[in-house]
Structure formats: structure tokens, C-alpha cells
Amino acid sequence: MSAGVGVDLENLWIRFGDFVAVRDANVNIKGGDFFSFLGPSGCGKTTILRAVSGFLDPSEGNVLIGGKNMKGVGPNKRPTALIFQNLALFPLMKVWENIAFSMEIKGASAAERRKRADELLEMIALEGQGDKLPSELSGGQRQRVAIARALCAEPHVLLLDEPLSALDLKLRQHMRTELREIQQRVGITFIYITHDQGEALTMSDSIAVMRAGVIDQIGDGKTIYNDPATPFAASFVGENNVFRGKVKQVSGDRVLVQSNRSGELLARVSTANVGKMKEGDSAMIFIRPEALELAKTGTEGDHYVSARVVNEEFEGNVFNIFMEGDGGKEIKVSLPNHGQSFDSHKGETMTLRYDVKNAVAMPAGVLATE
């Protein structure tokens, strides 16, 4: 199997007439990494994938694969293989013939093709399934056959466009574990397109969060979850409570915000925004549901939020409490179920405690839901 090579996007712009699909994207993907582009539908992530694969020419900028500029290099001459959402397996060919199709085009003998197909079937844990038709396999098995077929072409870079979206939730969760294991086994570069934050967080070495053609943030999953660079990244990746207000005081990487309805809140400024916030600025503070906890009665201070409970949900592993927040938005608190009894607090005002390091402040901006 080929070793993974790096992929670089340099000042990449892609326009369709007056519409800008990708705006000045700069990305460095290391060889052998699992890299995901994460964002809502229409944000430009599939457009970037098509530019890497050669099916779309950049309007400006360059795509480099293994340090080599791909300008003028067609899709069939690039060291890439692409897996589409619909898998596109040949229904009348046996599984092993599907897998080894790229070798047939190159004129390999049936014996060579069968040997390689069997090796790949073993790698994707489908030994002995080679003589079946694709229709005789489950959705997850067909998914693995599509991956094996792409790997048979020995690409340096495997491109995957939302390949798990047609599967049900349980199978999707199982397949993302398998996909990551296959990637680590073969060691080639995977570039993965998804709108599913769970897929991106669990599988990726690095993630690019995209919004309306722009890359908002690039980092590993923990950084993007715990230290988001923009309000969009904070609200798109995982659940988050937003508190809006004005900056009252700045001290290094700490900021005190006079919030619209929750009093003065102390937070740390996200790394990307240190030095960019000053007194009087409009600000947003993000505190995740799991970072809030019920405070003991009578406590006061900067690290507390009080609000009226409007709804409660028991989800099995957690108790979710929904409280009045800014502008019609609710504050959500998720308390782990440790087997404790939980009385209803609907209509009551409750005080919540948070750790300042888990409250992230940044200049006000566009949220993912707006």
C-alpha cells in the first residue's frame, strides 16, 4: 500500500459566476493523517474535495499533492481515489470483481486480481465474501467493499464524501470506528467530508470547520471543542450555551462581561482572540451544558449563573435542565445520572456554578443556528 502524502491548499478560491463557493482556503494536510472538513450543507466542503480530486479547477490558488502542483493534471492522473455517498458498486459484478476493478483496467490477470481482492477482503474483515453480489451484503459491508475497491487502486490520498450518511445511527457509529482502524492500518492520507460533528471528532487527526466558503478554524478535535476560534465553531461543534453582553474589563486572557440577563460573567478569552477584545466590545461567552453544575444554596460570585427552570428531561445517562437564557434561547444543563433521585425544579430559579476555564469568551459573531 502507498504511504500517505501531504495535501496543501494555497490561497484556494472557487467561484461559480458571481457566487464564491470557497474563499481563500489555506490548509496543510500532513501525509498519513485523517483530515476532516466539517460544516453544514452548502458551506463548500465538497467543492474543495472536487478540487483536490481534479474534477474541478480552482478559480485562483493551487492544490499540491506530495508537494507537486496539480494544475493541469486530470483526475485519472492524480494519486487520489474518491468514495461517493452512493458507493457506486457494480451490481452485477461479484464483490471480489468490484474490489479489483482498477487492476482489470490495467490488464492484470484474473489470478492476480483475485489474490489482491482476497487480501483486501481480509483487511476489511470480510474474508470469504468475495463471491457474493453487492446486493447480498449489508449496508455496512457494502461500505467496506467500496473502501477496499478504492484502496486497490493504491492511492496516496483517499477522498471520502459523506460516505456514512445513508447508514442508520448504530451502524454509522460502528463504521466510523472501523474506518479509523482501516486508515491507521493502511497509513494513507484520508480526506473526509462530513456535516456530522461526531464523525469528525471521533475519527480525525485534524478538522477544518467551514462556514459559507470560509474556513473558520483548523485544529484537532479537542482544541476545536474546548477552545473554539469563532462563535460559529463554538455553536456548530457540540452543544453550547451562549451568553451575550458587553466587555466590562479585560485582564490578560480573562474577560469580565456584563451579560444581558445573567449578570457579570467571568470567562477566559479563546486562544485565537487573545488581545482582540477591549472594554465596551460586544461579546459572547460559551459554556457547554456539561460544564455547568448545580450550585449550593446561598452561593454568590463571578462564577455563577441564576435563571428560571422552564423544562426538564430525563435522558437515561443524564438529566437535562432547560433554563431561561438570552433572547428566547435556553440555557441547557446536563447533569450525569449517578443513580441519584432528581426532584422537579420547574418554575424555580436555580443557581449554576461553572469553572472559568470552561467559559470561553470571544467577540460577538454569527452562530451556526442563525
Here the cell at position 319 is: 438529566
- What pLDDT shows up at residue 105? 81
Structural domain boundaries in the chain: 7-226, 231-363
Provide CB contacts within 8 A for 271, sequence distance 6+.
227, 229
Strands 189-194 and 157-161: parallel
Q: Would the CATH topology of 7-226 be identical to that of 231-363? A: no
- What pLDDT shows up at residue 224? 96
- What pLDDT shows up at residue 279? 95
- What pLDDT shows up at residue 301? 56
- What pLDDT shows up at residue 123? 79
Q: Note the Cα 354 to chain centre separation in Å.
A: 26
- What pLDDT shows up at residue 43? 93
| pTM, rounded to two decimals | 0.88
- What pLDDT shows up at residue 257? 94
Count other Cβ atoms within 10 Å, centred on residue 238. 19
Architecture per CATH, domain 7-226, reads as: 3-Layer(aba) Sandwich (3.40)
Cβ distance 192 to 178 under 8 Å?
A: no
- What pLDDT shows up at residue 3? 62
- What pLDDT shows up at residue 342? 76
User: Which tens digits make up the pLDDT trace of 125-141?
Assistant: 788 888 999 889 887 78
- What pLDDT shows up at residue 293? 87
- What pLDDT shows up at residue 102? 83
Cα(59)–Cα(20) distance, integer angstroms: 10
User: Which tens digits make up the pLDDT trace of 186-211?
Assistant: 889 999 999 999 999 999 999 999 99
Q: Please report, for residues 47, 53, 82, 163, 335, the alpha-carbon distance to residue 5 in angstroms, rounded to integers and kept in the order given.
A: 21, 14, 15, 22, 44
Cα(363)–Cα(4) distance, integer angstroms: 38
Q: What residue ranges of the chain have pLDDT lower than 50?
A: none
Q: Which CATH number fits domain 231-363: 2.40.50.100, 3.40.1440.10, 3.90.1010.10, 3.30.479.30?
A: 2.40.50.100
Give the phi and the psi of residue 79 in degrees, each rounded to 5. -80, 45
